[in-house]
Amino acid sequence: MKDKIVKDISQIDLEQIGDLHLFSSTDTPMRQDAFDMSDEEKMLIIEEKFAEIMQILGLDLTDDSLKGTPRRVAKMYVKEIFGGLDPDKAPKSSNFENKYNYTEMLVEKDITVYSTCEHHFLPIVGKAHVAYFSNGNVIGLSKMNRVVDYYAKRPQVQERMTIQIVKHLQKLLGTEDVACVVDAKHLCVNSRGIRDIQSSTVTSEFGGKFKDPAVKQEFLNYLTLSPE
């Protein structure tokens, strides 16, 4: 399947890939030497290159407001918004015995998503909703937020991010019974191109029991609940 996707993409003009919202793998594309340099080395190079971009655009880097921008951008890329590229920053894999014998669906709603579109390097902002059935183990509620945040903090395609979240939680919990729905706005759609500020993108991944239409519907019903 992956080979077919790659072959299909190779026949499409590179300019179209972003507009068609395509991706080639459920794994984030990374080079083998991705971590040969230290964070500080990466920031120094990014700072230099981003200063070049600003100069090409005609900006005056001697201005007090702009002179620190290359460094700020470099630090933001490496330490903040793309920190999820580093596997050492993955949420620690810890779970606990389900001593309460809770057997119903557990849902964590409205997890904030701040990510970056890998096609245009513009923000993706929205919410993720995650659910699972315990297979004897449970995790702290904040762990689901941390998993979402980890995969959001990298250049992303929303479909891939949704799959990655589910796969990570399946491995952590030792069960296929995990689901995720992400509803997000893409600034590459909202602020450029068609400039549609109203639309959002919804993606989902359902594993195990969640493939059952009744269970899937139960999960989706939880997402429409209004606070009292």
The active-site residue, picked from 47, 108, 168, 188, is: 188
Confirm whether 129 is a catalytic residue.
Answer: no
The active-site residue, picked from 129, 164, 170, 186, is: 186
Question: C-alpha distances in angstroms, 79 versus 48, 87, 116, 158, 222?
Answer: 17, 13, 14, 21, 35
Confirm whether 21 is a catalytic residue.
Answer: no
The active-site residue, picked from 120, 159, 176, 218, is: 120
The active-site residue, picked from 47, 108, 118, 205, is: 118
Question: C-alpha distances in angstroms, 209 versus 32, 75, 159?
Answer: 36, 42, 20
* Amino acid making up residue 12: I
The residue among 223, 222, 94, 114 whose CA lies nearest residue 161 is: 114
The active-site residue, picked from 47, 108, 119, 180, is: 119
The active-site residue, picked from 158, 168, 180, 205, is: 158
Contact criterion met (CB below 8 Å) for 9 and 17:
yes
Confirm whether 119 is a catalytic residue.
Answer: yes
The active-site residue, picked from 47, 108, 117, 168, is: 117
Confirm whether 118 is a catalytic residue.
Answer: yes
Confirm whether 117 is a catalytic residue.
Answer: yes
Q: How far apart are CA 70 and CA 52, in angstroms?
A: 9
Confirm whether 186 is a catalytic residue.
Answer: yes
Task: List, by residue number, the catalytic residues.
Answer: 117-120, 158, 186, 188
